[in-house]
Amino acid sequence: MASARSRARLIDRLRGLGIENDTVLAAMEKVPRHQFVDEAMTSRAYDDTALPIGYGQTISQPYIVAQMTQLLIADGLPDNVLEIGTGSGYQGAVLAEILPSIYTVERIEPLYERARRRFAELGYRNVRARLARDGVLGLPDYGPFEAILVTAGAEKLPTSLYEQLADGGRMIVPVGPTGDQRLIVVRRDGGYFEQEVLDAVSFVPLIEQRSDEPSH
């Protein structure tokens, strides 16, 4: 199949860019990215680039998905993960190939509904999608989480998620204004949170609920 060959080429490119974790590469090769993009974009599904998915959002560049996943599991495989920003569902599907339990939050209802259908159709029963107008608030009723992955750019570190991070856990989040974002790893050790600043990245903004916007 053309998509299988395209996936294999993508994996070779990811290796060349420094993605070394075989578990991550196997998951990236298995997930059918063409099923997470609009039909008009399927010919570009295995290009290493972000693509529009509507509503001002994008499906992340495969290299970024692989990099964030590799960072997330660097200390071992977490049992309970929270993803902020479901989007197309692609990042969640990659995590689902590796980890036992993922909660993912989306604020845009049509994207949430679409991703939920994709997860069901592809058999990812270990991903639980939730609709929330303010994903920055996370899902405190389901935590603490051993890992948190934020897939939109926050102006500043979303400290509201800190208390949902389990002791010994890590949070991966792009931080900074559009055009000047850096990937940050936050590690929790008791009441202490260590921050490590990594590569420059480019994500759509993380939008918090306005005070005049109704909750859902």
Q: Could you say which of 3, 60, 202, 215 is catalytic?
A: 60
Phi then psi for residue 140, to 5 deg, are -60, -30
Pairing of strands 145-150, 127-131: unpaired
> Rounded distance, CA 196 to CA 183, Å?
8
**Residue 60 annotated among the catalytic residues of the structure:** yes
- What Cα–Cα distance (Å) separates residue 105 from each residue in 9, 30, 115, 136, 181? 31, 23, 11, 9, 21
Task: Answer yes or no: are the C-beta atoms of 61 and 69 closer than 8 Å.
Answer: no
| Residues 6+ positions from 191 with CB-CB distance below 8 Å | none
∠ CA 120-124-125 to the nearest 5 degrees? Answer: 85
User: Which positions are annotated as active-site residues?
Assistant: 60
